[in-house]
Structure 1
Amino acid sequence: RTIPPIFNTVYGSDDDPSGSEAGTKVRDFHHHVKGDMPDGGRYHALDPDTYFWAHATFVEQVLYFADTFVKRLTQAEKEQIYLESKTWYRRYGVSDRPMPANYAEFERYWDRMMGEIVVAHPTAKYGVGYVTKGFPCPKAVPPALWRLIAPVFNSVAAFLTTGGLPPRAREHLGLPWSDRQERRYQRFAAIWRSRPVNWVWDHLPMRLRYNGYALKGNGHT
């Protein structure tokens, strides 16, 4: 239920209720998300520092995957993406007090969070646990077939999942990653950034390149 309003928050227009109201709808999903911290403190998802951190992880992944798999971004392009993300964040209606003013400040914010604040919570460890122990057989797949494809699937899934995490996140979560694996991952990424792949991508119809929310937001309906 969260995907449509999130996409409308990102791609919607302030002049269109489907866009202007989507952010507050996403925010309101989080009213009940609260509890106790291991140190005895309390947390709430709508605390501005907590809510912005969740947003920051989205922004960082957009920047990372564009820079890794599409093209090497210039500083100006990174700045533009970050500034546009500020518009997206403000649509949630949560205080923007923790939000860095520009991309350079966002980089410093990210480094501080990863180096000093973020810890390997059991929930996060559980979420990436299948990377090391393998994924269970999906209900729709016959067990005999899964036994045949699982070794390849698990190997590829672990490679892509672990390689796509920030280095310090891998360290926090105790995920093994060698220099050799990093070189393989970067070679894989370079293929996707190559001119032939980008040429093919640029010549695909818009409906194949972007989801419906993005097409609507950019006037291609």
Structure 2
Amino acid sequence: MFGPGSQFDEFFNDPRWALAMVRATVLEAAHPQIGAALIDNSTFVAHPWRRLRNTFLSLQRMFGADDHVRQREAARLNRLHARLNGTDPQGRSYDAMSPDVRAWVVATLFESTVTMCRLSGRPLEQHAMERLYTEFQAFLAAMGDEDGHLPPTVQEFWQYYDRVVEEELENTEAMHIVLYKLFDHLPAPPLLNGLPTLWGAGRVVAGPVIGAITVASLPEPFRRRAGLPELPGAQTLMQGAYLAAGLARFLPGGRTHAGAIADLLFLSPDSDDPRARTITALRDKVSRAAALVRLVTPLPAEPEPAPEGRTLRSAEEFFTQVLDQTGNGYLDWPDLAAMARELSSRLDLDEPEETRLYNAFADWWRELQAAVDADGDGRISAHEYAVAAPSMAGPALIRVAEVLFDVTDKDGNQTIDDDEYRALFRTAFHRDTTGVGTAYTRSAFIKDFLSFMTGRRRTTPYDPLLAQA
């Protein structure tokens, strides 16, 4: 069912699966409950690469060979989903723990994988399809869901799938963001950060193409009902893209291995990873090419990276890049919950440490509401924050720093050593802790954290942790 030799393991490293996962995400976002949860709680708009990395790691854990790792990840996901509930703008409730909602997420993954094979000219044989379906059923069972929310057989699955598509899916805001906004405004991954012109040139072409391919691959009844326009030639473009991605599987040397690609994509040039030196050298050469692109390509101006030595940014920048984790223009509880979720994921926390960190952020939110929410609307605008920024470091924020130190200090010796430091700041170090022979003390840690959260400093480890896209 899981690990090497499974159908999922084979498809996980298939380049076509990237296209299939975009399609599955759109079908998930079209479900009204999932779409509402994404809009209210997800960081996929403001921090898409971080969200992709976390999803990638979660799938690796759930479909890997280690049953203990799978059980821990399932428990973590269940705790995460239990915190995601609310009401959409139409007054309808949503709950990420709903068995029907969770079944639909798994259904989109399975159906999009089957569709991926068909569109690339190599449809799955019946026995392979049934085996893959059994693996996805096992995934749902590993999450603790009871049988019955997914049909027992593949034959019955297609009736279920058609019914949900025709009766339940809607033209949601989240779906439109994925199709028409996300790729058009997708920030550069850490690997290409600092090359806005080159990234912008590629995005201008790739964004609309990915959107057109995804729309063309959606079920025709839903596409028509949702009023999604299919561009002329989109079907041919879609089939060509799937065929080309399929051919990429035959590249030598495991160059399409998902893990290797993800490691490279999320590698920051500021990291102390040895590969970063090679990346830095390549970036110098690419910068020269970007200068040429800038001369010949009419792109809108994009902000350049902060000059070396610049440590401060405006309150508005800090609000947008760090505090507004969901990207809706306001600071409210889902933004701080997203910070707690990211920190818990980085540190791979179990209970009770995870709840302890969430509770510290919840206390900070209550403190912020009382001190900063001037109009009492339950959320904090960028203007309200800018006015009150100097008074941000109240007792509750200090408590957040203390709890974060405690859960990072795994051995409880009141210092954070190199390994513990890496666990928290592993995606991009702004200082090399290898072999320095000194420990990060509680007071220094708390001072740095508060300096970041109130002084809006760029050159601390917390910037890539909480501001990186």
Name segments (4+ residues, structure 1) moved above 6 Å: none
Mapped contact 2:61–2:73 kept (Cα < 8 A): yes
For residue 71 of structure 1, the aligned residue among 102, 113, 122 is: 122
Distance in 2 between residues matched to 1:48 and 1:86, nearest whole Å:
13
Structure 1 residues 152 and 80, CA, compared in 2 at 3 Å: closer, same or farther?
Answer: same
Mapped contact 2:120–2:239 kept (Cα < 8 A): no
Mapped contact 2:212–2:231 kept (Cα < 8 A): no
Structure 1 residues 37 and 156, CA, compared in 2 at 3 Å: closer, same or farther?
Answer: closer
Say how many residue pairs are matched: 204
Structure 1 residues 145 and 180, CA, compared in 2 at 3 Å: closer, same or farther?
Answer: closer
Q: State the identity as a percent.
A: 21
Distance in 1 between residues matched to 2:74 and 2:145, nearest whole Å:
9
Point out where structure 2 has 5 or more consecutive residues left out of the alignment: 1-53, 261-469
Mapped contact 1:52–1:98 kept (Cα < 8 A): yes
Structure 1 residues 162 and 24, CA, compared in 2 at 3 Å: closer, same or farther?
Answer: same
Map residues 132-211 of structure 1 onto 2, 5 A cutoff. 134-135=184-185, 138=188, 140=193, 144-145=197-198, 148-178=201-231, 180-193=233-246, 200=250, 204-205=252-253, 208-209=256-257, 211=259
Q: TM-score, normalised by structure 1?
A: 0.74
Shift of 1:157: 2.9
Q: Which residue of 2 aligns with 1:5?
A: 58
Q: Which residue of 2 aligns with 1:215?
A: none
Shift of 1:193: 4.8
Structure (1 or 2) with the larger CA radius of gyration: 2
Distance in 1 between residues matched to 2:217 and 2:97, nearest whole Å:
27
Distance in 1 between residues matched to 2:241 and 2:179, nearest whole Å:
22
Q: Which residue of 2 aligns with 1:84?
A: 135
Point out where structure 1 has 5 or more consecutive residues left out of the alignment: 213-221
Structure 1 residues 146 and 181, CA, compared in 2 at 3 Å: closer, same or farther?
Answer: same
SS at match of 1:30: helix
Mapped contact 1:70–1:193 kept (Cα < 8 A): no
Structure 1 residues 82 and 179, CA, compared in 2 at 3 Å: closer, same or farther?
Answer: farther
Distance in 2 between residues matched to 1:32 and 1:104, nearest whole Å:
34
Q: Which residue of 2 aligns with 1:25?
A: 76
Letter in 2 for 1:134: D
Shift of 1:53: 1.1
Q: TM-score, normalised by structure 2?
A: 0.38
Map residues 32-111 of structure 1 onto 2, 5 A cutoff. 32-69=83-120, 71-111=122-162
Letter in 2 for 1:97: G
Distance in 1 between residues matched to 2:211 and 2:90, nearest whole Å:
32
Letter in 1 for 2:141: R
Distance in 2 between residues matched to 1:46 and 1:87, nearest whole Å:
17
Structure of greater relative contact order (alpha carbons < 8 Å, 6+ residues apart): 1
